[in-house]
A and B are shown apart, each in its own frame.
Chain A
Amino acid sequence: MDKYVLLRHRDTPDIHKLSVYGEYTALQKAVTTLTPEQVINEVKVSGLRGRGGAGFPAGVKWSFVPKDRLPHYVTVNADESEPGTFKDRELMEFNPHQVIEGAAIAAYAVGATRVYHYLRGEFKSVARRMQAALDEAYAAGYLGQNVFGTHVEIQMFLHLGAGAYICGEESALLESLEGKRGQPRLRPPFPAVVGLYNQPTVINNTETMANVPYILNHGAEAYKKLGTEKSPGTKIFCLSGMVKRPGNYEAELGKISFRDLIFGENFGQGMMVEGRNVKAILPSGASGPIVTEAALDVLLDYESVAAAGTILGSASVIVLDDSIDMVWAAGKVTHFFRHESCGKCTPCREGTYWMEKQYQDILKGKATLADVQLLQDVAQQIIGKCLCPLGEFATSPVLSSFQHFQAEYEARATDAKKVVPAKAASAKAAATPTAAKTADTKAVPTT
């Protein structure tokens, strides 16, 4: 096997050109030798799970599309806006034909004639690479009418968003694609039944699509040999933060741990600053619960990471070293969610605002212990009360940082109990009458 299933441009330079990528053999096999049901079944058997974050089995999703309501649509989610995520961009820039071929196979499988790739607005340059690849695919007869001389028609288009994280949520993406504000829809009905223009629609992440040609070319059984039983295949891990060598790394699911990813010679090669240690890891960008160095040996597949109390999500691993103030870090993430809340649901719109305000007060040394408690209360109030997962995501870094680093929050409260040895404290009181004033945020050295 080649080293890469997805990042194949690292094995084969210039694979973004059709002449190097070669024929769309997987698409050809699908449209000329398999029925749509057989294609869906093959992807189902492969166990391929959605790579956008939720990990839902792709083949199962495809099978939800009702056959009696035409037209059907396929949309590819390339909104990639989760902090710490930069894999779809690399795929589209350097291996675009694999994404396009995968999406075309999905279209054939669910009987869709139109496919939209929804790219975030900041991907203007990425869109140029994708468009060049689309033009080549059309010219070669792999897209358009009569794909590979059959009666299959597949039209594929790019659609650029305009700066809104929420459009990565599938129903908000559809709203945006319809030319509206990107606010999530009430589900059910799910997009597979009522999606784009109220028609059945399959939405898959870019990376998910890039897996599909391999499955068709090599068969579901070969694909299942990669990864673990419940998390088959390879995954692109986006490694960022305070490591020596941040970047995208492809590996089989469940075969490497956080430690391998951060310290491995073929991966992150250790910490950015020599001598520093891992303090915290955000395993799925801003959205999942934060874990500590205690999780370093957790294997990276959906089940193992879930068992460790967090989520693999889109596998955007952000590493923080022990120089980092966790209140600052969680506040930074909270700012992100406040900025990106679409405003539809009150608990998220108002809650993220209040949480950010609490963080600002705590960081400025203006908050009491009661305010610190209030921050947790606000987070608890958001949970379970929003239409889409954004509101819930916004509480993850807050509550998980409390869980692991509560002392850091409390130390910043104006009425924090100072941890000063009793003897020293009484000596200080006698020697420095102004100590109480200067001791607002830190215990004052007394010797």
Chain B
Amino acid sequence: MTNETMTPLLEKYATQIETVLSKYPPDRKQSAVLPLLYLAQREYGYCTPEAIREVAEIAGVEPTEVDAVVGFYTLFYDHPVGKHVVQVCNDLPCALRGSDQFLEHACQKLGLDKHQVEHGGATTADGEFTLESVVCLAACDKAPLLQIDLEYFERLTPEEFDRLIEEYRKK
């Protein structure tokens, strides 16, 4: 075991990591892989190979296992994404209430290709925003809606979308 090795994440977030690990039985540190990946992703922008190795080391598992987890879940990225990730829900319930036109507007506003946005997402040239068309976000009664960096914004008009983007551009 390499418990004594200090990874950059451990050095910077010792207390936070300890809190995460304390939620699970001491011999079940692997359970912390998801929360640790969120932490690593926030630190490095995406799940870099180095981030994956660090998380594996802290959780006491092989990097391959962490890599597989990154590949499985949609909220982890194994490639660089924009500073802000915008997820527009365009699943059936939302599409019945105008989300497709809303998504079109979002693509236009950010100058992104809709086909790309619908197939894995697209990132603005300045690296500020990644726009994704996603399936259900559990807010079907409040369509059109989106999440920016996992925060909800609901019942949006195109104008409100534009304002949100300007607001986040300054963040």
Interface residues of A (CB under 8 A from B): 80-86, 88-89, 114, 120-125, 157, 159-165, 176-182, 197, 238-242, 246-248, 272, 282, 286, 316, 318-320, 324, 329, 332-333, 335-336, 339-340, 342
Contact = CB atoms under 8 A, between A and B. Distances in A.
B151 A179 contact: no
Contacts of A241: 92-93, 96-97, 140
B61 A83 contact: no
Nearest to A330: B92
A85 B93 CA distance: 10
Nearest to B23: A157
Nearest to A343: B72
Contact of A318 (B28, B35, B92): B92
B26 to A, nearest CB: 12
Interface string B34-54: 110110000000000000000
Nearest to A80: B138
A170 B65 CA distance: 21
A179 B136 contact: no
Given A246-B141, A332-B92, A121 B97 contact: no
A177 B31 contact: yes
Given A162-B37, A163-B75, A178-B28, A121 B135 contact: no
Nearest to B22: A157
Given A160-B38, A164-B72, A242-B97, 15 more contacts: A125-B151, A162-B73, A163-B76, A164-B73, A165-B136, A176-B34, A178-B30, A179-B30, A179-B61, A181-B68, A182-B72, A240-B97, A241-B92, A246-B97, A246-B141
Contacts of B31: 159, 177-179
Contact of A89 (B23, B68, B138, B147): B138
A120 B135 CA distance: 13
B9 interface: no
Contacts of A114: 25
Interface of B: 23, 25, 28, 30-35, 37-38, 59, 61, 65, 68-69, 72-76, 87, 91-93, 95-97, 135-141, 143, 147, 150-152
B140 A84 contact: yes
Contacts of A181: 68-69, 72-73
Q: Which of A84, A85, A324, A340 counts the most chain B CB atoms within 10 A?
A: A84
Given A179-B34, A179-B69, A333-B92, A197 B28 contact: yes
Contacts of B37: 162
16 contacts: A121-B34, A122-B75, A125-B150, A159-B23, A161-B73, A162-B38, A163-B73, A164-B73, A178-B28, A181-B73, A246-B97, A246-B141, A248-B141, A316-B140, A318-B92, A335-B135
A179 B59 contact: yes
B147 A332 contact: no
B136 A247 contact: no
B139 A89 contact: yes
Main secondary structure of the interface of B (DSSP, over half): mixed
B137 to A, nearest CB: 6
A318 B37 CA distance: 35
A120 B134 CA distance: 14
A120 B95 CA distance: 22
B24 to A, nearest CB: 8
A324 B96 contact: yes
B104 to A, nearest CB: 16
Main secondary structure of the interface of A (DSSP, over half): mixed
B135 A318 contact: no
A20 to B, nearest CB: 24
Query: Nearest 9 pairs between A and B by C-beta?
Result: A163-B74, A179-B33, A162-B73, A240-B140, A246-B141, A179-B30, A163-B75, A181-B72, A240-B93
B30 A83 contact: no
Contacts of B97: 240-242, 246, 272
Contacts of B138: 80-81, 85-86, 88-89, 120, 122-123
Contacts of A164: 72-74
Contact of B76 (A162, A324, A332): A162
A194 B24 CA distance: 18
Contacts of A246: 97, 140-141
A140 B59 CA distance: 32
A335 to B, nearest CB: 8
Given A162-B38, A178-B28, A332-B91, A122 B137 contact: yes
A83 B97 CA distance: 14
A83 B138 CA distance: 7
Contacts of A176: 34
Contacts of B147: 122
A240 to B, nearest CB: 4
